[in-house]
Structure formats: C-alpha cells, structure tokens
Chain A
C-alpha cells in the first residue's frame, strides 16, 4: 500500500464551481498536512498547512483533516481560471528537518 494516494484527475470545472480535492494516507506518523499548488513547469508553492483534525479556512480555500480516517481534503470555493494548476497533498512526520511525502497531484482546469 502506498503511503499517500491521490487521484491524478484531470478535473475540469466551470468558473465559480466548488472544487473538492482529496488524499488518503496510511502512515500514522504523519503529523502535519499540507496542500501545495504547482503551476506548469514551476516549483510547488504552499497553499495550506495544518496539524490537527478539523477545518482550516483561508479565503476561498478550506483544508480538512480527518486523522481517524487518514483522509485530507482541500475545497476551493468560487473557483477561478487562475486556480488551474496541479494540487499536491503533502505530509510531514514532524521529525526535525525531515522530508515531505507527496501525493502524485491532481490536475485541475477551471474554464471560464
């Protein structure tokens, strides 16, 4: 079983739609949960960061973590064409200066 599972999509939605992106994980040692956005041929940029179960909201973005189910989600409200990118979930075990574990990314296209 892979440590991180993420549906690669592609996902195509109209502008204004609510987008739901998800990842499952199997490693109970993961303590920090992140979502990165990656535009084509660019490095990932951090969107959301959380370390506890529940919801965290930042503007149009909401990150949700369910540790009991080992499931995390990212919701995008009022999606815009500029949101078109690949979204990667990432996990951190919390060890000092340790590596991140990434999902394979979901490619999202928001069409006007």
Chain B
C-alpha cells in the first residue's frame, strides 16, 4: 500500500528559530499534499493544500509567510515554521494523494517551541 514518511517525528526548538518538516511519498507520486495541524483532543485542521510545482493554497487564518510550504517534486513537500513561538507548538500531519487513490497520512510531527 501507499506509504508516506514524515520527518522528524518530534522536534523541540527555541522560540524565534525555524523548523522544517518533510513529507515524502515513498512508493507513489503525490500530485497533491495537504498539511494539517492538530491540537490535543481536537480535530485535524487543514492549513494548506500543496500541488507539485505551484504555490500552496492556504486556508483562511493561516499565515503563509509563517508557514512556508514547498512542493518541489512529486514525492516531497516541506513545511517550514518560521520564527516559531510557543503558540506554534502542535502536532503537524501531512497527507498525500493522487487522482484515483485515497489519502495517505504521515505519522505526524510533534513540535514543541520553548
């Protein structure tokens, strides 16, 4: 089956620094990737939709200059949290899909900003 690898699984960073999270589709070419954010005991909130080779589409209220998304190839999308602050601490999950196939999720990244 389809496999999506997300790295790192856990990261702790200092306030003001930037963190990059990678999402790779290992055995298929993902034309679209989604980035979600999940707070404890809350649902997955879509942050942005990323199509290979084009700019990401951000959901209302998500700062595109703070959450930089790059989808340079059909197997890799990255989310960079710039100038991270404690309120950015959360669980970030990517999902990859291609037409005719379902959605495969990564294992998530727990970000803690101290």
Q: Point out residues on A near B: beta carbons under 8 Å.
A: 4, 6, 8, 36, 41-46, 49, 88, 96-97, 99-100, 102-105, 107
Chain B residues near A104 (CB, 8 Å)?
41-43
Q: Give the Cβ gap from B2 to chain A, nearest Cβ, in Å.
A: 10
Q: Which A residues touch B99, using CB under 8 A?
A: 96-97
| Minimum distance in angstroms from B45 CB to a CB of chain A | 8
Flag if B6 contacts A99 (CB, 8 Å). no
B67 at the interface (CB under 8 A from A): no
Return 12 A-B CB contacts under 8 Å, by A number: A4-B43, A41-B108, A43-B6, A43-B108, A88-B43, A97-B32, A97-B98, A97-B99, A100-B34, A103-B43, A104-B41, A104-B42
Contact, CB under 8 Å: A44 / B105: yes
Interface of chain B: mostly helix, strand, loop or mixed:
strand
Contact residue among B93, B98, B102 (Cβ-Cβ distance under 8 Å from A43): B93
A76–B110 alpha-carbon span in the complex (Å): 29
Scoring B residues 96 to 114 as 1 if CB is less than 8 Å from chain A, else 0, what string do you get? 0111001101111010000
CA gap between A46 and B95 in the complex, in Å:
12
B108 touches A88 (CB 8 A): no
Candidates A46, A88, A105; contact of B102 at CB < 8 Å: A46
A87 → chain B closest CB, angstroms: 12
Rounded to whole angstroms, the CA-CA distance of A81 and B4 in the bound complex is 27
CA distance A107 to B41 in the complex (A): 8
**Chain B residues with CB under 8 A of A41:** 91, 108, 110
A88 partner residues in chain B, CB cutoff 8 A: 43-44
> From residue B47, how far is it (CB to closest CB) to chain A in Å?
10
Enumerate chain A residues within 8 angstroms of B6, measured Cβ to Cβ: 43
